[in-house]
Structure 1
Amino acid sequence: MDLRLDALSVVTDGRSLVRGLSLEVPDGQVVGLVGPNGSGKSTALRCVYRALRPSSGTVWVGEQDLARLEPGHSARTVAAMTQEGGVDVDFTVEEVVALGRAPHLRGNRALGARERDVCARAMDRLDIGHLAHRGVLTLSGGERRRVLLARALVQEPKVLVLDEPTNHLDVRHQVGLLSFLRGSGLTVLVVLHDLNLAAAACDRLGVLCEGRLVASGPPAEVLTTQLVGDVFGVRASIVSHPLTGGPQLLYSLDSTR
């Protein structure tokens, strides 16, 4: 299912956080939002998973205005893992993951065999099956991130929205997560701070600066020395990845402007 941000703007306390953002995420592709801190990336994502109502503009899922969908339908269409998402009560891992099935269940109906299987597969895919009976408050930050992503996956959404999903993950789980996203078949909009990971994982990138989209397209076209200097304020050399041919950035410690 396509996702489209159409002239999205967010104004809070007289300050424009997102300014006329238009961005397309084609069906089955991974599109990354990158940009400096405070550029509007997370704010834009909040509009997509309906934690924030845009001041103007529309979020389209397929041919439907997301704001007009009833909450249950919306939750079955778009799932999110946010920066702030967490669990304050010491539920077990399997209990937290099972919460993702709520949009598909009526009332307090218990999980059936299919629901339990969906949860088990998601936990195994994210390497947390062995943690199923652990309390989430006993987990490391990276383990909790994987639990929250599993919860989003068991919603069986058409669109997945992820805000810095690799935070707290070790290298193996970063690579595994991004590889999974590339092969998932889901429409994915993801905020990433690591430009090299973004270049490797995303079909397209959108670059935000001061709330505006300043560039979009395939990573090889977007990530130029000029853009990285202008937007991020650092000097970088762009080289080809020896295995994939994709762009990779090399920084030096004295590269800040």
Structure 2
Amino acid sequence: MVLSLRDLTVEAAGRTLVGRLNIEVSAGSVVGVVGPNGSGKSTALRCVYRAMRPTSGAVLLDGTDLASLKLRDSARSIAALTQESHTELDFTVEEVVALGRTPHAHGNQPLTARERELCGQAMDRLDVTHLADRSVLTLSGGERQRVLVARALVQEPRLLVLDEPTNHLDVRHQVELLSFLRGSGLTVLTALHDLNLAAQVCDRIAVLDTGCLVASGAPAEVLTPELVRKVFGVDADVVPHPRTGIPQLLYDLAPIAPVPADTPTDALSEGPHA
């Protein structure tokens, strides 16, 4: 499935959150959207999974305007993991994962044998099978995140939209999830904060700043010291990974001024107005 954002614009409360954004995600590729906080990443993704309606412009799936599709039909093609994903009901992990079949369900019919197998495979893939009978309310943030990714996979989408999918995940599960995305064959649009992870998993990277696209291309083309300094306000050296050659950023942290030895302890907790 090919995803195209064409002159996508979102305005709210007199502000332009996203302005004339153009992004193309070719079939089976992984495109990352990066940028500082408030740059419009999540807003753009919300338009793709239809949590928001753009003010102007269009989101196209294989050339078809998303707005012309019924919500149920688009849900059969698009699965989303959002930053706001949470479950307040006391469902088991197995029940939450099975909810991914909702767009394909007819009435209250039980899952078929194939669908149960699909749920089992997704839980295995995300390493949550051992949690199947646990309440989602008892899970850690990382465990819950993996459950929600499993639910998205059970939806059998052709397009995955992931907003910060590595949130709460430990290093092992970050690597496993991103490796899976690379080899899944699905079309993936994902927002990421970690530029090094973006460089590893993404075929192309789109950089947003104040709602506008400022750069787009392969990681090696986009992630330059000049761009990182201009957009993110930090200095970084870009070096090739010793094994893969993928660009990696080494950030230059400004030195922190030492606290004088004779500073009273209580003064350290007082604000600058003290």
**What TM-score do the two structures reach when normalised by structure 1?**
0.98
Instruction: Work out the CA distance in 1 between the residues paired with 2:246 and 2:58.
Output: 33
Shift in Å, 1:255: 8.1
Instruction: Work out the CA distance in 2 between the residues paired with 1:134 and 1:252.
Output: 43
Which residue number in structure 2 is paired with residue 79 of structure 1?
A: 79
Which residue number in structure 2 is paired with residue 97 of structure 1?
A: 97
Which residue number in structure 1 is paired with residue 183 of structure 2?
A: 183
1:149-168 maps to which residues of 2 (within 5 A)? 149-168=149-168
Instruction: Work out the CA distance in 1 between the residues paired with 2:167 and 2:103.
Output: 27
The answer to whether the 8 Å contact 1:196/1:247 transfers is yes
Which residue number in structure 1 is paired with residue 204 of structure 2?
A: 204
Tell which structure's C-alpha radius of gyration is larger. Answer: 2
Which residue number in structure 2 is paired with residue 253 of structure 1?
A: 253
Instruction: Work out the CA distance in 1 between the residues paired with 2:52 and 2:81.
Output: 15
Note the aligned Cα RMSD (angstroms). Answer: 1.0
The answer to whether the 8 Å contact 1:8/1:59 transfers is yes
Shift in Å, 1:2: 0.4
Q: Percent identity?
A: 68
5+ residue gaps, structure 1: none
**What TM-score do the two structures reach when normalised by structure 2?**
0.92
Instruction: Work out the CA distance in 2 between the residues paired with 1:35 and 1:91.
Output: 35
Q: Is 1:53 the equivalent of 2:71?
A: no
User: What is the number of residues matched between the two proteins?
Assistant: 256
Q: Which runs of 4+ in 1 moved over 4 A?
A: none
Instruction: Work out the CA distance in 2 between the residues paired with 1:93 and 1:85.
Output: 14
DSSP-derived class of the 2:76 partner: helix
Q: Which amino acid aligns with 1:155?
A: Q
DSSP-derived class of the 1:21 partner: strand
Q: Is 1:24 the equivalent of 2:24?
A: yes
Which residue number in structure 1 is paired with residue 231 of structure 2?
A: 231
Q: Is 1:148 the equivalent of 2:155?
A: no
Shift in Å, 1:71: 1.4
Which residue number in structure 1 is paired with residue 260 of structure 2?
A: none
What CA deviation, in whole Å up to 9, does each residue of 1:158-179 have, x standing for no partner?
Answer: 1000000000000000000000
What CA deviation, in whole Å up to 9, does each residue of 1:26-60 have, x standing for no partner?
Answer: 00000000000000000000000000000000000
Shift in Å, 1:252: 2.3
The answer to whether the 8 Å contact 1:72/1:103 transfers is yes
5+ residue gaps, structure 2: 257-274
